[in-house]
Amino acid sequence: MAAISVPPQAEPNVLSRLMTRPTAAVGVAVLVVIVLAAILAPAIAPYAPTKLSIASRLHPPSLDHLFGTDDLGRDVFTRMLYAARTSLSVGFAVVIFSSIIGIVLGLTSGFFKKLDAPVSRLIDAMMAFPDILLAIALVAALGATAINVVIALGIVYAPRLARVVRASTLVIRELPYVEAARALGVPTPVILVRHVLRNVTSPLLVQGTFIFANAILAEAGLSFLGVGISPDIPTWGTMIATGRQYMDQAGWIMMFPGAAIVLTVLSLQLVGDGLRDLLDPRLAKDI
Amino acid sequence: MTGEIASDVILSVRDLRTWFQTRRLTAKAVDGVTFDLRRGATLAVVGESGSGKSVTSLSIMGLLSRPGRIAGGKILFRDRQEYIHDLAGFTQKEFRKIRGREIAMIFQEPMTSLNPLFTVGDQIGEMIALHEPVDRHAARKRALALLKQVEIPDAVSRLDDYPHQMSGGMRQRVMIAMALACNPLLLIADEPTTALDVTIQAQILDLLRRLQAELGMSILFITHNLGVVAEIAHDVVVMYGGRVVEQAPVNDLFSHQRHPYTRGLLACTPNAARDIDDDGERRALYSIPGSVPPITDLPLGCAFEPRCDLAIAPCRAAPPALVPAGPHGASRCIRSAEL
């Protein structure tokens, strides 16, 4: 029997399989650069983000100021690095916060038949509001701070995750191994976490990357509209908002943060697409 | 004490009625089922699809899903402390204390009854850890012992296999190991061999028989396969249209059927010797004419009457009662004496 032993399990992990897809690999590479830039901002940045210099205000890009300077003479490159920290952490926090709400709502509505109708209608009601409008209303009610922006966007995006979790839960609830687990005396909370939630992780991961991208965009939008994070904290959105007034004389002030948003959101979408194709082969659309 | 049952009986189902009730109609999936399961014995419940055999087992486990509910009757179960419970009135919370520890269940689909995300060792360990306080290491050791007990070859390396790396027979063995994790008094096996091929079926039945001898557990065996019944059962209950139509010890049942439905069922079993006629030609396999009536629309009289070749006028008038027939059995047929 030794001769026909089982071959070693050389199952490559998700990340390495993701890297075999060119578009997703580009997305991952860009994201890594952006995240590293954000983390290492204090080390890379040539100036302090708040260092004013009226003498050098509105300088175009040069060797001294790679991306130029803004209306107060602050280095745009430096501020962009620091802005990346805020924008990315807000985006990430939104993913976490909306996942928590979405998982709780989705699991309860999907698993407990009695709760399905009320919770689903709540989800529908939340989804009926236009995203940005609801976020503006919530931030207006809570106050414009970074944490409140996270809370508002978390509430806005939670229903989508709840939908995804509910749909998968409905399927998994009826699978024989859930019934088998119940027949052998596994308590419901354990079934929910171990048998249901674990099987929902892949669609959740895919949705999470899309929500990450949307949240970064929405945070920029809110900040641009002045109902987001206060303008003295650099985020890509607030930078565009201040740059707007100097658009005709100093386009670079809003151009570079704008490019950063496009690049980040695009890479996140590419990674999300790649993950979706990878984790759910039935949806793969490589023709 | 919620009722008196004979001292060697571990499970006594009495006049169980499980109905699926919606606003418009009521499906009496189980309608007045009565049987006793003796300690350490195997009782086979036989019937076609829709006869109510699976619903009976789900009622015992408290796993009915809406709109199913127990509309009447008793399910008396004797636990380890010889205390008798009526499972028919149990809440889900009470059931959770019984499931796994006292009564365990294995299912028809070994391919999907295991969670694909965890190794089998992990899943058996989960069962052990749920019911007794053990650390990871002890749970793993016990899982290994269980895998050996259910005769999984090379158990040490199989412990870290995922379900997809195993065959159907092996997965059913793993399911049995999980069910045995807490040494249940009663094992309900709902068509555990249906999805397996014949040689594996025989192995699983052997295994169940051996485990029963070693552990002294009682088995309620749900099946539609009379060959399997002959292999494993001590007593047999035949169900049709949500009712018990015949019950008897296994040998009595196979030597003399006292209900036309049981007789028909046996005639449907392929038999190489019998199915060749005098000219050496293969005869067409017998089949009972017609099909099972929908349980929402059972005939007024005997449920089997429309398909029965012995039917007479009184059969249509009122449902026959289950009357003693044969030395130890009972039949729900007014002409059982003629059979």
Model confidence pLDDT, tens digit, residues B240-258? 988 899 999 999 999 888 9
Among B217, B180, B176, smallest CA distance to B196 is for B176
Say what the pLDDT of residue A228 is: 84
Say what the pLDDT of residue B3 is: 54
Decide: residue A9, CB within 10 A, 0-12 exposed, 13-18 middle, 19+ buried.
exposed
Q: Which contacts (CB < 8 Å, 24+ apart) does range A265-268 have? A: A265/A213, A265/A214, A265/A216, A265/A217, A266/A27, A266/A30, A267/A26, A267/A27, A267/A28, A267/A30, A267/A31, A267/A34, A268/A27, A268/A31, A268/A209, A268/A210, A268/A212, A268/A213, A268/A216
Of the two residues A110 and A16, the one the predictor is more confident about is A110
Say what the pLDDT of residue A211 is: 93
Say what the pLDDT of residue B275 is: 66
Contact between A238 and A223 under an 8 Å Cβ cutoff? The reply is yes
Which chain A residues have a beta carbon less than 8 Å from that of B105? 180, 183-184
Phi and psi at residue A159, in whole multiples of 5°?
Answer: -60, -35
| DSSP secondary structure letter of residue A192 | I
In this prediction, the answer to ipTM > 0.90 reads no
Chain A residue whose CA is closest to B182: A184
In which band, very low, low, confident or very high, does the pLDDT at A1 lie, cut at 50, 70 and 90? very low
| B127's tokens | 């069962």
> B113-149, pLDDT tens digit by residue?
898 889 999 999 988 888 788 888 888 999 999 999 8
Which chain B residues have a beta carbon less than 8 Å from that of A279? none
- What is the average per-residue pLDDT within B202-224? 91
In which band, very low, low, confident or very high, does the pLDDT at A282 lie, cut at 50, 70 and 90? low
Quote the minimal CA–CA distance from A184 to chain B in Å.
4
> B4-45, pLDDT tens digit by residue?
778 889 999 999 999 898 888 888 888 889 999 999 999 999
A185 vs B182: CB contact, 8 Å cut-off? yes
Region A24-38+74-280: CATH code:
1.10.3720.10
Quote the minimal CA–CA distance from B294 to chain A in Å.
24
**Secondary structure of chain A: what % helix, strand, coil (to 5)?**
75, 0, 25
Cα separation, B119 vs B117, in Å, equals 7
Domain map of chain A by residue range? 24-38+74-280
Of the two residues A101 and B89, the one the predictor is more confident about is A101
Neighbour count for residue B215 (Cβ, 10 Å): 14
Per-residue pLDDT at B238 exceeds 90: yes
- Per mean pLDDT, which of A123-132, B190-199, B316-325 is the most reliable? A123-132
Say what the pLDDT of residue A12 is: 62
Q: Does B100 touch chain A (CB under 8 A)?
A: yes
A199 vs B131: CB contact, 8 Å cut-off? no
Cα separation, B10 vs B184, in Å, equals 12
| B77's tokens | 């179960």
Cα separation, B170 vs A184, in Å, equals 19
Q: Please enumerate residues of A whose Cβ is less than 8 A from a Cβ of B.
A: 1, 6, 113, 175-177, 179-187, 190, 194-195, 198-199
Say what the pLDDT of residue A148 is: 92
Which chain B residues have a beta carbon less than 8 Å from that of A182? 63, 99
A179 vs B63: CB contact, 8 Å cut-off? yes
Q: Helix (H, G, I), strand (E, B), or coil: what is residue B297? A: coil
**Minimal Cβ distance to B117: which of A113, A184, A199:** A199
Per-residue pLDDT at A152 exceeds 50: yes
Neighbour count for residue A72 (Cβ, 10 Å): 14
Over the range A31-56, which residues count as b (16 or more CB within 10 Å of their CB) and which as e?
beebeebbeebeeebebebeeeeeeb
- Per mean pLDDT, which of A231-245, A252-266, B122-136, B325-339 is the most reliable? A252-266
